[in-house]
Amino acid sequence: MLMSLSPCCGDEAGFTHGFFGKSTKTDQWTSQSSSKSEAFTKAFLKNSLQHHTRHDLKSMLSHKAVVLGYSRSKKDKLKRNSKKAKGLNARQKRALKIFQIKPEHQRYELFLPLHELWRQYITDLCSGLKPTCSPQFVQQKLLKADFHGAIITVVRSKCPSYVGTTGILVQEFKHVFKIITKEDRLKVIPKRSSVFSVEINGFVSHIYGSKFEQRASERSAKKFKVRGTIDL
């Protein structure tokens, strides 16, 4: 039994040796084919990317910005929002009396320099206010102008006590004008149901307060429509 099995063992050893010999040749062929494919890929990419010859491909990839998905935690967002400066609301401004003029500052002569600045500003705005300027041109400019510092007069009003009041406009709000009279008195005149006049270098312009109920910043960006008749 032992003698009869030895040839089989020899054949098996020969078969195994032959099998492994074939596998070595296969590995060599695989390495050669991979090197060829790598060389072909490099050559193909080099020919395909000829329009990028001015820049090196590696430098392009190294300096390319990559946006990564990242979301901040809620704590970080709360910290960032808390660091932002928050303005005062309307109630806080009223409590601090920011827009109130102190009694010692309610003097007509203190606002005369402001009036002179306004005259220079409105003269430049209306191209010098020459006699050749048309009234329509001046009125269109005045519609969007800032009136802080102008001397205004109440011409008509549904409240007779306001008529004839004249002074320098020191504050303009959405619904009221605050003016300082020559008697050093602060007057609050409602815009609604009132007509005001402004005189600049011989030009007299009338302001219909009911159509003027906007803040100065809002009025500068508004388009006014020409109306035939305007009532109080």
Q: pTM above the 0.85 mark? A: no
The encoded tokens of residue 109 equal 């002569």
**pLDDT > 90 fraction of the chain, expressed in percent and rounded:** 25
Task: Give the residue from 197, 170, 163, 174 showing the smallest Cα distance to 185.
Answer: 170
Other beta carbons less than 10 A from residue 194's beta carbon: 24
The distance from CA 182 to its chain's CA centroid, rounded to whole angstroms, is 42
Is residue 202 very low, low, confident or very high in pLDDT (cuts 50, 70, 90)? Answer: confident
Cα dihedral: 160, 161, 166, 168 (round 10): -120
Q: What's residue 21's pLDDT?
A: 46
| Confidence category of residue 188, pLDDT binned at 50, 70, 90 | very high
